[in-house]
Structure 1
Amino acid sequence: MFEPSPFHPNRPEIVAPVRVDARGLAGPTQAQARGRDWRRSSRGLYVPSRIDDERVEQRIVEAAAVLPTYGGVTGWAMLRWAGDRWFGGLNHDGTPRDVTLATAGLHVRPQPGIAVCREKIAPADLTVVDGLRTTTAVRSVCFEMRYAPSLLAAVIALDMAAYADLVSIEELGAYADEHSSWTGIPRCRDAIPYADENAWSPTEVEMRWAWTVEAGFPRPLCNRPVFDRSGRHIGTPDLIDPVAGIVGEYEGSLHLVGKRRARDLDRESAFRGVGLEYVTMVAEDRPHPAAFIERLRGTYSRARYEPGDACRWTLAAPARWVPTVTVDQRRRLDDVQRHRLLRYRRVG
């Protein structure tokens, strides 16, 4: 029986859909396609039934199989394919998001799990990533932001694309300026001032949003390493207001048990030990952050606002420290540095 090859050497677990082949050489025969060993991925295309159709990358490849001669996968799906694990391909209710195909007006028949964008595409906006035709990262992020359901969602999209170093805020801003007449560009532009290149998770972006936009406090810095006066690294908090001396941390369900909880308590103690105030956002705060905002207000009321030379902590890194807070800084790292310096960034 015909056995499909891996889609790409870098994606050995992914296979491309194939058409029925009467001789069974380039695909299943008609009889085989009707059997239990194959499933239909889209009209006229099949993959072995053992292939997991819930795997995000497999869904993307199956959708891309119906691309016309010009176009590519765009939006969240391109960003996921390019390696950004924060684009999980699910709606808030847990249902799969459609994979969007940018077709420049070329016809694609409507099919479940596939959305079509018929906007024009310049050749420079198309690329190939591991054998898959896609739009470029900056166009894909711009698309995701333009059609985001909220301003916060647009900010999260840009922050998480920057997290994976797929696009910088400057690159996205320049691209938006070049396409000022496009649908949704106002939302994209409105999101840019709220973005940060060093957020490590969507929940951190939500906490920063609640901190600044909803509570009205000064914008904190994201994941800046904190040192004592001898240059010892105390920790890297999710957020820090260096003027007030306040550290903010998000604690999801994984933070509440076992060794992880003990480590979090040690971190809190270390920050407090050098005079920093500490506030926590938990999972229950995300849909309705009023309780977190009240805790934040209480924290600001206790904050010391100590002048820099009086603090027992500092954000000034010792000479040996390699900064990684911007996309440009991270792009300049070699492979060894990336593994050593970025391995602590959370991915789930």
Structure 2
Amino acid sequence: MRTSRGLYVPRGVDRTAPVQRILEAGAVLPDSPSAAVTGWAALRWLGAEWLDGLAPGGVLVEVDLVTTVRDIRPRPGVRLSAERLDPAEVVVVDGLPVTVAARSVCFVLRHAVDDRAAVEVGETALHAGLCSLAEVTAYASMLPGWTGIPRARERLALMAEGSASPGETAMRLIWELDAGLGRPLRNVPVFTRDARHVATVDLLDPVAGLVGEYDGRDHLRLDRRRRDLRRESELRSLGLEYVTMVAGDRHRRQAMAQRILDAHRRTRRVPPGDRPWTLEQPEWWKRREAQRRARRTA
């Protein structure tokens, strides 16, 4: 099956798979240090595996290519950019040239049509450890006058570190922008007063005692669902209120925001000293986390 001039793939190949789409798009790049895959596709290639290149409704998002040395013939599924590109901002990973993470995130923040989708991509890159929010902010500050920079700055203000999936980011944005509540803590461990770890929750308002959880497809498994219900029951027994969001809620923002507000009104605002739960990390937890960090950097 022909993919582009002189290039073919076997008929059985799934050409809608993210990695395949990125490979086929990158194959038409000229052999130049100033040509690379960028945007969400570069981030996926660098290791942000949550990025599937799909917009709401399953629509395929174009793969972005940037080149300043030779025109590429337009083709379906690919978006071309002629912005200047410093070769120092290109890395070759498994034979494919991609722009470095901070530049790739900034490209999305500058060019994505939807604010929330842009923030989801950016936070997914942060979670994958490809870059930090400070690095992206610093990179954006070096692009005054570039197309989309005012939009990128607005989107940077919406970003936060600590989300573990695009779904969690979507829930946080509904929590903040649609429900109008303050920014919650992200992926924070909750303990009992006797130093037992109860759960690490997706979102938490520590003042009101409101937990927010995003349940993706993996939560539909029977064993996972049992654990989720047991965990919810235990958190409620400690006096925490609980609200869950599922994938279908991402596109029913006002209804989801109302559920968050309803749960927020049900919270019991207990003084920190009187709560049976705490965010203070016991020594055993600190030691374990230090060991995990050491293994990751080894």
Cα deviation, residue 265, structure 1: 1.1
Cα distance change on mapping 1:324 and 1:178 into 2, 3 Å:
farther
Q: Which residue in 2 is equivalent to 1:65?
A: 27
1:145-184 superposed matches below 5 A: 145-184=109-148
After superposition, what is the alpha-carbon deviation per residue over 1:82-116, rounded to whole angstroms, capped at 9, x for unaligned? 11112102232323322211102521111222221
Mean alpha-carbon deviation: is it higher for 298-307 or for 172-181? 298-307
Aligned-pair distance for 1:229? 1.0
Does 1:264 find its partner at 2:224? no
Q: How does 1:106-117 map to 2 (within 5 A)?
A: 106-117=70-81
Asked if the contact 1:105/1:119 (under 8 Å) is kept, the reply is no
83, 90, 107: which one pairs with 1:126? 90
Question: What is the identity percentage for the equivalent residue pairs of Structure 1 and Structure 2?
Answer: 47
Q: 1:314 pairs with 262, 278, 289, which one?
A: 278
Matched, 1:138 2:85: no
Q: For residues 222 and 206 of structure 1, what CA distance do their matches in structure 2 show?
A: 12
Displacement, 1:324?
Answer: 11
Secondary structure at the aligned position of 2:56 is classed as coil
User: Which residue in 2 is equivalent to 1:346?
Assistant: none
CA change 1:338–1:259 in 2 (3 A) is: farther
Q: 1:269 to 1:125 in 2, by over 3 A?
A: same
**What is the identity, as a one-letter code, of the residue corresponding to 1:266?**
R
CA contact (8 A) 1:145 1:153 kept: no
- 1:218 pairs with 159, 165, 182, which one? 182
Task: Tell me, yes or no, if structure 1 residue 281 matches structure 2 residue 273.
Answer: no
Amino acid in structure 2 at the alignment position of 1:303: T
Q: Go from structure 1 to structure 2 and tell me whether the alpha carbon gap of 1:318 and 1:291 turns closer, same or farther (over 3 Å shift).
A: same
Distance 2:4 2:179 in 1: 47
Which stretches in structure 1 are left out of the alignment for 5+ residues? Answer: 1-38, 340-348
Q: Deviations over 1:234-277 (max 9, x none)?
A: 00111100011111112345535622222111111111111111
Find the aligned partners of 1:301 and 1:99 in 2 and give their Cα distance. 44
* Higher alpha-carbon deviation: 122-131 or 285-294: 285-294
- Inter-CA distance 178–222: structure 2 relative to 1 (3 Å threshold): same
Alpha-carbon spacing, 1:301–1:322, altered in 2? closer, same or farther (3 Å) = same
Task: Report if aligned partners of 1:280, 1:292 keep a CA contact under 8 Å in 2.
Answer: no
User: 1:49 matched to which residue of 2?
Assistant: 11
- Rate the CA distance shift 1:55–1:257 in 2: closer, same or farther, 3 A: closer
Q: How many residues align?
A: 296
Alpha-carbon distance change, 221 to 324 in structure 1, aligned in 2, over 3 angstroms: farther
Distance 1:126 1:337, change over 3 A: closer
Structure 1 residues 92, 198: CA separation in 2 closer, same or farther (over 3 Å shift)? same
Bigger share in helix: 2
Q: Secondary structure at the match of 1:100?
A: strand
Runs of 5+ consecutive residues of structure 2 not aligned to the other structure: none
Change (3 A) 1:160 1:274: same
TM-score when scaled to structure 2?
Answer: 0.91
Which one has a bigger Cα radius of gyration?
1
| TM-superposition CA deviations, 1:193-250 (whole Å, max 9, x none) | 2212211111111111111111111211111010111111100111100011111112
Compute the displacement of 1:321 (Å): 2.3
Over aligned residue pairs, what C-alpha RMSD do you find?
2.4
Change (3 A) 1:221 1:109: same
User: One-letter code of the match for 2:94?
Assistant: D
Q: Are 2:257 and 1:297 aligned?
A: no
